Amino acid sequence: MITIRNLSHDFEIGKKGNKTIIPVLKDVSLTVGEGEIVTIVGRSGSGKSTLLNLVSGFIRPKQGEIIINGTTVSSLNEAKFADFRIKHLGFIFQSFQLIPSMTAYENVELPLVLQGMSESRRKQKTEEMLAKVGLLEYRDHYPGELSGGQQQRVSISRALVVNPPIILADEPTGSLDSETEKELLDFIIQLNKELGITFLIITHDEHVARVGHRTIELRDGRVFEGVYA
């Protein structure tokens, strides 16, 4: 599902004529198979979030290629990647990234609006997703009226509503208490088993890391496999 080949990336800081190059990823290669849950761990600054942003297409790699579902996405322009992203990738964020002025229903419905789906079909799919995570009765609540766990479930519903084969998660339990974290991890395992969704999860939490079929460590911008094996 995801193939990364010889991926390197750095950031430039400072003004023109006085720039400093900060290397972040160094010749990273890895694969994520269909139906796998792969977790990526590493210290702060190890390149975890940069890697996820590169796979997401939010930043472009300086070197190497990224292939998702047979498409070399690293060579797509911004508009084509945006179109690819909404059809193939779902996202779960630590901070939920819900729009505060929109209800739970409207937040989940939004990707379908962007796809141009008819209103009747949007209603059916949105309600199905909210029901799946046990939040249909909260459809008219705003994010500020929901608990952290409920907000994360709305976020998951929004990620799932377009039926993506891959979900990318950035510290998905970072804002949750231990009980809600366990509920979310159980739900991820359930989605993987029942729907075959592939997960690539960035985390610093050992409990989250152990959900993965494989765990990869990023250390000084390089890949080390076999962690928690």
Fold of the 35-62+77-225 domain: Rossmann fold (3.40.50)
Cβ(158)–Cβ(130) under 8 Å? no
Q: Are 206 and 224 in contact (CB under 8 A)?
A: no
Could you tell me the pTM of the whole model? 0.87
- 44 pLDDT exceeds 90? no
Instruction: Encode pLDDT of 113-150 as tens digits.
Output: 988 899 999 999 999 999 988 899 999 999 999 998 89
**Which pLDDT value is given to residue 179?**
85
Q: In what order do the strands lie in the sheet containing 198-202?
A: 89-93, 166-170, 198-202, 37-41, 214-219, 222-225
Nearest to 1 by CA among 38, 30, 33, 40: 33
Block residue for tokens 């909210």: 130
The answer, yes or no, to whether residue 228 has pLDDT greater than 70, is no
Calculate what percentage of the chain has a pLDDT beyond 70: 98
Spell out the domain ranges in the chain: 35-62+77-225
